[in-house]
Structure 1
Amino acid sequence: MKYVIGVDLGTSAVKILLVNQVGEVVDEVSKTYPLYQEKTGYSEQNPQDWVDQTVAGLSDLLKNFSGDPEDIEGISFSGQMHGLVLLDENNEVLRPAILWNDTRTTVECQQIYEQVGKERLLAITKNPALEGFTLPKILWVKKHEPEVFAKAATFVLPKDYLRYKLTGKIHMDYSDAAGTLLLNIREKTWSKEICDLVGLDLTLCPPLIEAYDQVGTITSEIAKATDLSPSTRVFAGGADNACGAIGSGILEDGRTLCSIGTSGVVLSYEASNEKDFQGKVHYFNHGAPGVYYTMGVTLAAGYSLSWFKEVFVHEESFDDLLGEVHTVPVGSKGLLFTPYLVGERTPHADATIRGSFIGMDGSQERKDFVRAVLEGITFSLNESIDIFRKNGKTIDTIISIGGGAKNEEWLQIQADIFGAKIVKLVSEQGPGMGAAMLAAYGCKWFDSVKECANTFLKKEKEVFPNKENVEKYKKLFAIYQQVYPQTKEINEQLKSFRE
């Protein structure tokens, strides 16, 4: 039996999967590392921590592996998007990595709009300037740490730095490059126009490759440290959301992913780059050959539920918390929740807005509030689906992964609010499985990524929408959409009291 390894470099931990030729996860290892938040809005990590913990994880994986290391043919990566790793001429790290959830760059986003123009930026990158993206971070360092920036020879994203330390090769794949605001999405080239307008040298941008391209083999040092074979082939890998799409089978029209973790993502397959969503959702290069995906984000999806649990029922398990949700009627007895606990991304890119419970009365019980939280998270995700459909997309099948797939009633709520069939997978490994599938495809186990998905991914169950509930939720969704515009000004007035 042959094997591949998928490495998912997340924000809190690296997860490593050993997968065989029929898609079975033979072993998995997870290693955590710290997050540094020196000031409000700052979020950084030490890139060496990623390397050390990945090497330790690979070593543990090999210690548990009873087969021949030569049978582990390839390794590929999924990684947190947008994070900035600045390197000098010797590829040494110049400062801690600035992560995707760092929000210090509001001024730099405005600078990009002033220098490039909103319409021109959208035309080239198909994305708006948001604090999470990479270009604003580069401009922040240039402005606030000029002595550091003066030494910068190139930049990479987190998984690219990790791959460099395993192979000695510097590259960036298109799916991650699409999240920098420097890539011409249509032409799949770095945009000299944007670089010139914001005052960056084009040579700062690393060589571009496909997510399934082989970049080399592991170095002898890494082979010695991990017990992997020196012949282990290393493939570029992709952005976590692109790999999540691959690992969930989002590889044809009509298929959409709903991933509910701390944040929530609705991601849909796009066969071309021709659609125009006016920057309301993200538009990125896929990890699969020649295609794209669009994506909307709810910043506090699963976080809204964990927040409710920690604040009100800290001592209970999630299973206990959700145990009576099925007894609560659609609409939670007239109670609405908006999950804007840390601001919102789609369709309202608003860092100031905050969450609300609307419609509270004395008859409601804890279980009503819990269902309202689940419905509110799902309504927020449905805003992205609503945008997709209004722009001509057909969405009939949604793969649900993460926290939203772990509760039967929540799966039904998704089917009813989204008005689509919900599919739960047998093995839900998301981005890590997507990375392993890129390695399997790169190793020529399959003729296409889709063929790989047909072998690796199995359905556990399908949940169909209840027509009566669909109609009720359509009315409730229209009410939900009124909450943001009617509370926006109130939250702006409250902002000074939160500081």
Structure 2
Amino acid sequence: MTKYVLGIDSGLTITKAALFDEQGRLAGVGRADVTRHEPLPRHVERDMEEHWLATCKAIADALQAAGATGDDVAAIGMSGHGDGLYPLDRDSRPLGRAILSLDGRAHEVVERWQAEGRFPTMLAAMGQEVAPSSPTAVLSWIKQHEPERYARFGHLLYCKDWLRFRLTGSIATDRTEASTAFTNVQTQLYDPDVAALFDLPEVMERLPPALEPTSIAGYVTEDAAQATGLRVGTPVAAGLHDVTATAVGIGVVEAGQLALVAGTYCINEVISSLPVIDRAWFCRNGFAPGTWMNMSISPASSANIDWFVGQFCRDAAQTAKAQGVSVFQVLEPELAAAFAREGGIVYHPFLYGSPHAAVSSAAFMGVLGRHERGDLMRALIEGVVFNHRTHVDALRRGFPLDRAALAGGGARSPRIAQLFADALNLPVVVPDAEEVGALGAAMCAGVAAGWFDHLSDAAAVCCRASSTYQPEPAAAARLDLAYRRYIRSVGTVQGLWPSLNGSDAA
């Protein structure tokens, strides 16, 4: 008798596979790194075959960790980073490296479209303005700069859809991923008029069928079974765009609920029962017909923390490794001392992009000789939280918000979770689940396996709260002032970004 469903969640650095029982309890998890290649400025790629082999390892490790075999798995669900592009040729083979959602090579394409006045039409048709990592922009860049590669396109896939293709041999996507590009915001279906807005009419022949997230998209093949340890014929659900999968995994399945994800991307999202269109967010398909997921996002969240630790805290990382503890435990005394002092440093967390302009860059401002490493870390964390507030304040224009659910690396730190509550002036709920993206994907598998009738039923069983952080009035007032200083500083330096990034001759 099957015991588990398997959720696969493939991010921008790590692919995770996790087994869950019928109560949503984690039974075993496997993780594998995937190399990120940056061969040129603003080019962020990965090798698709390495990506598949890493996923095979993660699946095998998850089975071993749970003491399970492929016969114990009832169904599989998929989630992966959104946007970007995983191209296949007409023989369904990888057509070069995948382009990740951190990629910014197409920023000039986006700037040209904006200068040509196309954005209002795009917003009305698609429910979103495009970013450099959008498949529309990436495809346009390839069509212009790599015409031979573009001519060989056979299938346009996204991260999870590439992995599902390797598991099942079936080409497909789901409704949430389909709305990344080329769908009409009102009908929620592919629309050739939308493709024409980007001068890409031919792309319609290369788009994968868009299925419901909980429907079965294929079955594990013999080759995939040998590579992973799964059972031949195991059903694989279509799954979800990772942003929506994470929301589902933390129990945000009803209209008006706010989900925050402090991961590589800064993700802030609200479900609605009608399309609510605003240039400050993407209005994309929700996980069920007649629902929309309103996402205000930017590539500017906890990746900044990882960068700082990797570059400037190597001594702490070595100590942590020797002691068998987290590097953040080693750094905590420095951080605690910094939070006990008066602040003043401002950090712009724009290493990979921002919500303010297609071209941006990170910066520390207000640094003095008296400041220590802990002060920089404090400013960096506050900058990440303030970037989330920028998006949440935008969403407040369209949706009443009375609480938030927080996932991602920041959710594991009580200090950071409390900082979110204070900076947003909202109660913040942290879920009692470690791998929430994989759980959201696994919940799709649970519906596909017949364990649940709908994702809302799965959420009622599988999603539990761990802690709730209430905003503290004094801290909220202090952070409100600091946030306003942060916004002023962004406006002050924004005009310098093109010259700092070599985009003009100034």
Superposition TM-score, scaled by structure 2 size: 0.90
> What amino acid maps onto 1:299 in structure 2?
P
1:134 CA drift (Å)? 0.6
1:94-127, CA deviations, whole angstroms, 9 ceiling, x for partnerless residues? 2221221111112332454577821110011111
**Is 1:446 aligned with 2:452?**
yes
Show the counterpart of 2:125: 124
Question: How far apart in 2 are the matches of 1:482 and 1:99?
Answer: 31
**Is 1:138 aligned with 2:139?**
yes
1:15-71, CA deviations, whole angstroms, 9 ceiling, x for partnerless residues? 101111111111111122222222111122222222222233333444555456434
Q: Is the 8 A contact 2:349 2:384 kept in 1?
A: no
**Is 1:320 aligned with 2:360?**
no
**CA 1:21–1:108: 2 relative to 1, 3 Å:** same
**CA 1:33–1:498: 2 relative to 1, 3 Å:** farther
Q: Is the 8 A contact 2:126 2:184 kept in 1?
A: yes
**Is 1:231 aligned with 2:239?**
no
Show the counterpart of 2:296: 296
Point out where structure 2 has 5 or more consecutive residues left out of the alignment.
317-326
Show the counterpart of 2:12: 11
Question: How far apart in 2 are the matches of 1:280 and 1:5?
Answer: 35
Show the counterpart of 1:54: 55
**CA 1:373–1:144: 2 relative to 1, 3 Å:** closer
Question: How far apart in 2 are the matches of 1:419 and 1:400?
Answer: 14
Point out where structure 1 has 5 or more consecutive residues left out of the alignment.
none
Question: How far apart in 2 are the matches of 1:265 and 1:175?
Answer: 15
Show the counterpart of 1:342: 351
Q: Is the 8 A contact 2:161 2:173 kept in 1?
A: yes
1:439 CA drift (Å)? 0.6
- Structural mapping, 1:424-439, within 5 Å: 424-439=430-445
1:131 CA drift (Å)? 0.8
Matched-pair identity in %: 24
> What count of residue pairs does the alignment treat as equivalent?
492
Question: How far apart in 1 are the matches of 2:117 and 2:368?
Answer: 50
1:353 CA drift (Å)? 4.0
RMSD: 2.6
1:235 CA drift (Å)? 0.6
**CA 1:334–1:8: 2 relative to 1, 3 Å:** closer
> What amino acid maps onto 1:385 in structure 2?
V
- Structural mapping, 1:260-279, within 5 Å: 260-273=262-275, 275-277=276-278, 279=279
Q: Is the 8 A contact 1:333 1:368 kept in 2?
A: no
Q: Is the 8 A contact 1:264 1:381 kept in 2?
A: yes
Superposition TM-score, scaled by structure 1 size: 0.91
> What amino acid maps onto 1:287 in structure 2?
F
**CA 1:443–1:40: 2 relative to 1, 3 Å:** same
1:370-428, CA deviations, whole angstroms, 9 ceiling, x for partnerless residues? 3332222211110111111123x122221222221222222221111111111122222
**CA 1:364–1:120: 2 relative to 1, 3 Å:** same
Higher mean alpha-carbon deviation, 109-118 vs 5-14, is at 109-118
**CA 1:205–1:298: 2 relative to 1, 3 Å:** closer
Q: Is the 8 A contact 2:498 2:504 kept in 1?
A: no
Question: How far apart in 2 are the matches of 1:333 and 1:302?
Answer: 23
Show the counterpart of 1:306: 306
Show the counterpart of 1:395: 401
- Structural mapping, 1:22-421, within 5 Å: 22-63=23-64, 66=67, 69-110=70-111, 112-113=113-114, 117-180=118-181, 182-197=182-197, 198-201=199-202, 202-273=204-275, 275-277=276-278, 279-316=279-316, 317-323=327-333, 325-326=335-336, 333-342=342-351, 344-346=353-355, 348-358=356-366, 360-361=367-368, 364-391=371-398, 393-421=399-427
Question: How far apart in 1 are the matches of 2:154 and 2:339?
Answer: 59
